[in-house]
Structure 1
Amino acid sequence: MRRFLERKGVHISVHAYFITALSYMALGLFSSLIIGLIIETIGNQTNLDHLKEMGEFAMDTKIWGGAIGVAIAYGLKAPPLVIFAALFSGAFGAELGGPAGSYVSALIATEFGKIISKETKIDIILTPFTTIVIGFIVGSFIGPPINSFMTGLGEIINWATFQQPFIMGVIVAVLMGLALTAPISSLAIAFMLSIDGIAAGAATVGCAAQMIGFATISYRDNGIGGAIAQGIGTSMLQVANVVRKPIILIPPTAAGAILAPFASVWLQLENNAPGAGMGTSGLVGQIMTFETLGFSMEVALAILFLHFIGPAVISFLIALWFRNKGWIQPGDMKIDYE
């Protein structure tokens, strides 16, 4: 059985299902829902009906659910017939079970599709048939309870952050920031948990602190190109360096913890789920903050301080102290970003 599964490309592991699949789920979300939100926001601000219509269509449940299905199947290296049929599995899972339902339906349907692929002379019929049927079954019976659990957990996080904005703001910022730098998807986590309100605002600060923090403190190792790659790309580029020298993770993480209460307690800077897990990546976190709170000078200044200036200054000062102590050396944060 093990040899058979290896031959079919089915690798039952934490890495495949909770790192690779979630990462590709995030790509599917970014290519549909998040881009749709950005387009709709531009349309609303410019009063261009075609952009609003375009954005609303991209944000349709079946659209982003199908994008999740195709993205997960592609990430798990499924054959073409499975990838195309996984569109249904992701869309149906999203329709009944939300983002968590879409993820589970697409994941299980893809693996079953890979197992049956090219095993019969009627592969062109049997492979997509199996993928669609399994996606339907999982989406109908497994997706909804999993989605209820995830959204329930998200509601607890949102409620707890509202009740204890200082403590929970710090916790949410630190955990989501670490998830963004780790080889998993903070976007997928935020979306499945449906984090919103001040919890999402704190999460955005934590994620932004990781990206801007690492872009700042690694500038002497990577130059302007590396700073841009991390600052508006992803701090995940530092994963290998973090594994080699975990202490470099402290400055940006501390910056997120310090700044989170400003967002959750004093400024009550809210956001939505897509913005919560993106930080400054593509400036999505900032666009979604404006989408949530409206465009104003007060919001703009809060974003400038909490998402950019604050993380840069705090991370720089902590890293400078670490360098003076000899705890961080030149080259410790060198990345290959090309």
Structure 2
Amino acid sequence: MKWLQKKGIRLSFKTYLLDGLSYMALGLFGSLIIGLIIKTAGEQFNLPFFEEMGALAMSMTGPAIGVAVAYGLKAPPLVLFAAAVTGAAGYSLGGPAGAYVAALFSTEIGKLASQSTKIDIIVTPFVTIAAGYSAAAYIGPFIADFMTSFGGWIVWATDQRPIMMGMLVAMLMGLALTAPISSLAIALMLDLSGIAAGAATIGCSAQMVGFAVASYRENKFSGLIAQGMGTSMLQVPNILRNPLILLPPTIAGMLMAPIGTTIWIMENNAPGAGMGTSGFVGQIMTFQTMGFTTEVMIQVILLHFIGPIVIALLLSQYMRKIGLIKEGQMKIHTGGSEK
């Protein structure tokens, strides 16, 4: 065990799921997501240069995932650079899940080989690429197929039971967005689409705007923007101290999701499903999926913003009134101790 630790290998749930998925999401955002945004802007405004730029960024998703995961696992330089190849192999053979598995496996094997011989510059990248390509070829496709099948079941179940499944998807994806894991990576690996992705977007949006308005008295305008357009993950330390602060945004998402699965049908794609209002990616992908129309704009405003804001604010105020949430318990980046 000491030898593994010396090589920078730490066998833990946190390392491989929490850290790994979080950095995978950064790789996705730096390639697929931003590429989709640029490409969509190019299509809507008839800018071929932006379309080509976005398409190029999207085509680099595999290498970006590989490097991001390797960086998150603190890989040595040669392993980090070779992970671009293993991520590309995993993505081509197994999609996002394949890229994640190939990068994870190759990084840890590459660490074992790193600095172990006098020809490290040859051995380390060779071992890393061989391990990653093997994982991509033999493991990645099975994982990708499972994730896709499981995501297909969620989509089917949401179509059959739109109220119950809409609430469940909104709750789980919303909690995943706020937790130190990646809702984006989950949505992409499950390949969520249709109204299931629409419900997930509502749940994720509710977490972000819900926490933003519920904690406004502590965090003011800067906190509103940081959480509403950045990430509700900023509240994780406060959630650990008082898990009850999760209730207002989570309930808001669960109440709004059935409206989006039955009355005003909301759809989205996998990249938009796990982003909420972060950079307004969830909304941009909603428009890309459903079209840029006045009707869709109204639905987005009501279901992604106004509805969750009103519910989360009223519920948080009531919880403050009866003492379930105390003053200062939703303060972010305090820089000092809290009582």
Q: So what's the TM-score if we normalise by structure 2?
A: 0.98
Superposition map of 1:81-120 within 5 A: 81-120=78-117
CA distance in 2, matches of 1:153, 1:93: 19
1:56 and 2:89 matched: no
1:85 Cα deviation from its structure 2 partner: 0.1
Which residue identity does 1:193 align to in structure 2? L
> Could you tell me which residue of structure 2 aligns to residue 19 of structure 1?
18
CA distance in 2, matches of 1:268, 1:156: 19
1:337 Cα deviation from its structure 2 partner: 7.8
> Could you tell me which residue of structure 1 aligns to residue 236 of structure 2?
239
Change (3 A) 1:92 1:337: farther
**Paired residues of 1:102 and 1:139 also in contact (CA < 8 A):** yes
> Could you tell me which residue of structure 2 aligns to residue 33 of structure 1?
32
CA distance in 1, matches of 2:317, 2:11: 43
Which residue identity does 2:209 align to in structure 1? I
Which residue identity does 2:138 align to in structure 1? F
1:252 to 241, 249, 252: 249
Aligned residues: 335
Q: Write the deviation string for residues 108-139 of structure 1: whole angstroms up to 9, x where unpaired.
A: 00000111111111111111111100011000
> Could you tell me which residue of structure 2 aligns to residue 219 of structure 1?
216
CA distance in 2, matches of 1:228, 1:58: 27
Change (3 A) 1:337 1:173: farther
Which residue identity does 2:33 align to in structure 1? I
Which residue identity does 2:23 align to in structure 1? Y
Where do 5+ consecutive residues of structure 2 fail to align? none
> Could you tell me which residue of structure 1 aligns to residue 6 of structure 2?
7
Superposition map of 1:169-248 within 5 A: 169-248=166-245
Q: So what's the TM-score if we normalise by structure 1?
A: 0.98
Report SS of the residue matched to 1:232: helix
Where do 5+ consecutive residues of structure 1 fail to align? none
Give the CA RMSD over aligned residues: 0.9
CA distance in 2, matches of 1:71, 1:254: 33
1:55 Cα deviation from its structure 2 partner: 1.1
1:326 Cα deviation from its structure 2 partner: 1.0
1:264 Cα deviation from its structure 2 partner: 1.1
Q: Write the deviation string for residues 196-248 of structure 1: whole angstroms up to 9, x where unpaired.
A: 10000000000000000000010111111111100000000000110110110
Q: Write the deviation string for residues 40-64 of structure 1: whole angstroms up to 9, x where unpaired.
A: 110011111111111112222xx10
**Paired residues of 1:112 and 1:130 also in contact (CA < 8 A):** yes
**Paired residues of 1:226 and 1:337 also in contact (CA < 8 A):** no
CA distance in 2, matches of 1:169, 1:188: 19
Report SS of the residue matched to 1:328: coil
**Paired residues of 1:150 and 1:193 also in contact (CA < 8 A):** yes
**Paired residues of 1:166 and 1:261 also in contact (CA < 8 A):** yes
> Could you tell me which residue of structure 2 aligns to residue 78 of structure 1?
75
Percent identity over the alignment is 60
Which residue identity does 2:96 align to in structure 1? P
2:329 to 326, 329, 332: 332
Which residue identity does 2:266 align to in structure 1? L
